[in-house]
Chains A and B, each alone.
Chain A
């Protein structure tokens, strides 16, 4: 996993992108440690404020030369609202980088990036890595509506193989990312699929990949209290190397997981064959 540090980061940019906010933070010693799929945990309230939990966000870009990292976030509740009200020059308490990044193929490979909404945020740094290694990438970017898409232009700058889906049909193909998925995988002869977005989407993508026998890595979003691995709130059922299923921490062992090892159907439950399930008996 990553080697996180805690810093008071200065906001050097905060601007709208579509339905989202782009936040660029400057802090020493973070950017150089970031790998694609890592996330940052941002304090959203004052040190004596009432919102205690940090909010996790994928790192979109990391620039070691400038000591900056960039996150892109949707305003959905009190924490992200508070973050959006900050000004350039304000300080934000950041812990980053966190989590286990996406595994990257060692040689040139064709990869398909599949994202829902802001889920595309961590996929561009990853796409860069893959192309740097002589590989190629394609994208399927989906969202409920056009303003909730993120990074369509960035994707087009990297590759001609970009498909866009919107559920309301306002832009691109009407429907969800899984609609053109199989065809797109075959068209670019994808050896691996990287998916990031809502859990239901990840599950659907993982199922298609299983049918097509293509490797699939997913970035999951689970509610987190600490983000650093101490509280056990962010767990999901994963089949281990030893074949035993356990509830593992998505903030440390994830958020990037091999999609074929995640027990998608069992999210939010404690299936009886899980290690330690027997002890849960009545409580």
Chain B
């Protein structure tokens, strides 16, 4: 361009207002009701909340999901219980815990006092045990819902996990739905390693599930090439652990996507989906939302960053604002739209 060129260049069009993240309505469908925002902790990744409370105010999360609680105390598996994998973690804790009575007496009141909304994860080795745990929570303070960890060995079915089969999943959900406080949403937590996660989802919703949590960990084995043995201690005859973390995220998004698609197609009644598996950032959470989740849980990322659940919430809020969403619910399942 020569110095004599008289052309003047100007900026055209309006300068847009920067999106106001605070204005995004994060109210999240939860069972038949709502929670103030969509973010919770994944079961087993935040204990009963006490330790996390040193890093973030629990009441700022939509809810906090407890580690899975059983009727009786469980010692858990032998150590080592964890092995790091590329962008993932293989773990086999074996649901160590002090049982439902201890939880109701010693942990739940503490959580309720802090204003935490508690999604209680439950399991049992029989339908009756699931139901007994659910009954123990009726009328207790702070509880906003029950999450049934169906990845638990079914004593009546050769130790195969309940989640492996639509019929056994159905029976657990139905039994719990019958005895649980009708006000409390019951979520069924599904496993990804099944022939059709949609079939299990349908069975759970038919049995009365008010929501679906997905996914639990994927079974895996890691072998130490120095000791020439599996990295997780053999315990109860297994060295298999559950794979979690960013490594499993596409599998988890696929499960949410498939089940949400079945709901849109009318093959399954529509209930809220709580998505999880490798969520580390707000954009990870947004992926789950776009696939069809109206809530998200942060698990393994907490081990990397104890403030991760709150950070993910803030980042999700900003990501929604930046994309022009006024409400979280406007983004739920949007990836399924044809145009």
Contact = CB atoms under 8 A, between A and B. Distances in A.
B73 A275 contact: yes
Interface in A179-235: 222-223, 225-235
A156 interface: no
B1 to A, nearest CB: 42
A231 B93 contact: yes
B262 interface: no
- Max chain B C-beta neighbours (<10 A), residue from A43, A232, A270: A232
A279 B72 contact: yes
Given A52-B245, A276-B98, A232 B76 contact: yes
Nearest to A281: B236
A269 B91 contact: no
Interface in A247-268: 247, 252, 267-268
Given A48-B280, A280-B236, A231 B84 contact: no
B82 interface: yes
Interface stretch (B13-21, B211-219, B267-275, B296-304): B296-304
A268 B304 contact: no
Contact of A230 (B47, B86, B87, B96): B47
B94 interface: yes
A54 to B, nearest CB: 7
Contact of B81 (A95, A232, A276, A280): A232
Contacts of B303: 52-54, 225-227, 230-231
Interface string B225-248: 000000001011110000001100
B93 A270 contact: no
B57 to A, nearest CB: 14
A225 B92 CA distance: 12
Interface in B42-58: 44-47, 50-52, 54-55
Given A43-B304, A50-B86, A226-B303, A3 B70 contact: no
B74 A95 contact: no
A45 B75 CA distance: 33
Given A6-B307, A48-B280, A230-B302, A270 B88 contact: no
Interface of B: 44-47, 50-52, 54-55, 67, 70, 72-82, 84, 86-89, 91, 93-94, 96-99, 153, 159, 233, 235-238, 245-246, 280-281, 300-307
Interface of A: 3-4, 6, 43, 47-48, 50-54, 93, 95, 222-223, 225-236, 246-247, 252, 267-270, 274-283
